[in-house]
Amino acid sequence: MSGRDADAVSKIVETVARTAPEIRGGLAGRRRKADEENPSGETQLAADVWADELLERRLAAIDGVSQYASEERAEIVECGDSGGYSVAVDPLDGSSNLKSNNSMGTILGVYDAELPAKGRDLVAAAYVLYGPITTMVVAREGEVTEYVIESEDGELAERRAVREDLALPDDPTVYGFGGRVPDWTDRFAAYARDIETELKLRYGGAMIGDVNQVLTYGGVFAYPELESRPEGKLRLQFECNPIAYIVESAGGGSSNGGGSILDADPDGLHDRTPVYVGNAELIERLESMF
Ligand code: P6P
């Protein structure tokens, strides 16, 4: 694509890092439900809408960004010249955790293609984790780096690299599987029974918190195919592609049950997909059982 600014990707990542303290600082007063549903039919919180508007305003203004899309809005925002990067965000992943004060995240995918795009079109992906501290994991050009986001008065004070060339530990320790057990398909339930005898359960209801456990301790995260919903729950463009890109860049594997998530051809902007990410051998085992 022409018209791309080589350091536009850096500006996009830096803008999300810079916005993270403001998003975190604005959560307390925005736990109420908004009047709308998102394009996936989920009730929005005021925080979802607000974080989306904040990120759209900032990211769409960057030279070299042609499209902005988010899990919270039905349509793509065309911004500036065509031929630039397409930015896809989940502004507040796991916002249902706001009520219970558990971790949440912001997910970013930077695609070198018009949306909806394949995961192979990603040139960078990142997530912010609003945990006891605010951290940001960035994957770019095959390398994964974790930063601590230090802020003062809701402003980014410093983005400090704390783990460079991040890779999944060789010996997996944790697993987290979404959906209700009675709704799991037989083949996923058989896989889960295997894993449950080997690893410790860590499931917090926000993909970012659960994936960060897998990146830290090794293991597997899944929001699987369900009997009631064979396509699973999580969104390809905004959640699964960026997370698959990060985990594969960290030496792990991803799957939609039939191969790398990054190879999935999207039909629509808000496609859902089953998602399995973690240590490569655990993903290979899943695929051998599917
Ligand atoms: P459940 C949060 O709503 C989310 O999109 C992901 O972050 C998370 O992994 C999943 O849905 C949780 O879903 O069905 O466990 O509430």
Name the residue at shortest CA distance from atom 14 of ligand 1.
179
CA distance 72 to 49: 7
Q: Bridge-partner residues for 276, per DSSP?
A: 222, 255
**Torsion on CA atoms 148, 150, 156, 161, rounded to nearest 10:** -30
Token digits of residue 103:
């971790």
Instruction: Determine the distance separating the centroid of ligand 1 and the alpha carbon of 70, expressed in angstroms.
Output: 16
Cα of 104 vs centre of ligand 1, distance in Å, is 10
- What per-residue confidence (pLDDT) applies to 154? 82
CA 281 to centroid of ligand 1, rounded, Å: 25
Of all protein residues, the one whose alpha carbon is nearest to atom 4 of ligand 1 is: 94
DSSP lists the bridge partners of residue 137 as 127, 146
Which of 96, 103, 228 has most ligand 1 atoms within 8 Å of CB, for mutation? 96
Q: Verify whether ligand 1 is closer than 6 Å to residue 139 (CB atom).
A: no
The pLDDT assigned to 4 comes to: 55
| β-pairing verdict for 143-152 and 77-78 | unpaired
Residue with CA nearest ligand 1 atom 16: 205
Which atom of ligand 1 is the closest one to the Cα of 221?
9
Q: Which of 193, 252, 197 is nearest to 220 (CA)?
A: 252
Per-residue pLDDT, 5? 67
How high is the mean pLDDT in each 10-residue block of the chain (290 residues)? 69 97 89 77 83 96 96 93 93 90 96 97 98 97 96 86 96 98 98 98 97 98 98 98 98 98 97 98 98
User: Ligand 1 in contact with 40 (CB < 6 A)?
Assistant: no
Residue 197 burial by Cβ neighbours in a 10 Å radius (0-12, 13-18, 19+):
exposed
Q: Ligand 1: which of 71, 104, 207, 273 to mutate, judged by most atoms within 8 Å of the beta carbon?
A: 207
Please name the residue whose Cα sits nearest to atom 13 of ligand 1.
205
Ligand 1 center–CA 174 separation, angstroms: 18
Look at residues 69, 76, 114, 65 and name the one whose alpha carbon lies nearest to residue 91: 69
* Residue 207 near ligand 1, beta carbon < 6 Å: yes
- Strand, helix or coil for residue 54: helix
Residue 148 sits at φ, ψ, to 5 deg, of -95, 130
Residue 227 pLDDT: 98
| Residue 238 Cβ contacting ligand 1 at under 6 Å | no
Rounded to an integer, what distance in angstroms lies between the CA atom of residue 111 and that of residue 120? 9
Amino acid at the residue 206:
A
Sequence-separated (6 or more) residues with CB below 8 Å from residue 79: 60, 61, 65, 66, 67, 68
Q: At how many degrees (to 10) do helices 207-217 and 241-249 cross? A: 10
- Quick one: tokens of 136? 């940001």
Structural domains of the chain sorted by starting position, each given as residue range(s) with its CATH number in brackets: 6-163 (3.30.540.10), 174-289 (3.40.190.80)
pLDDT of residue 106: 98
Task: Tell me whether residue 169 is exposed, middle or buried, using C-beta atoms within 10 angstroms of its C-beta: 0 to 12, 13 to 18, 19 or more.
Answer: middle
pTM: 0.95
Cα–Cα distances (Å) from 51 to 98, 183, 250, 289, in that order, read 13, 32, 28, 40
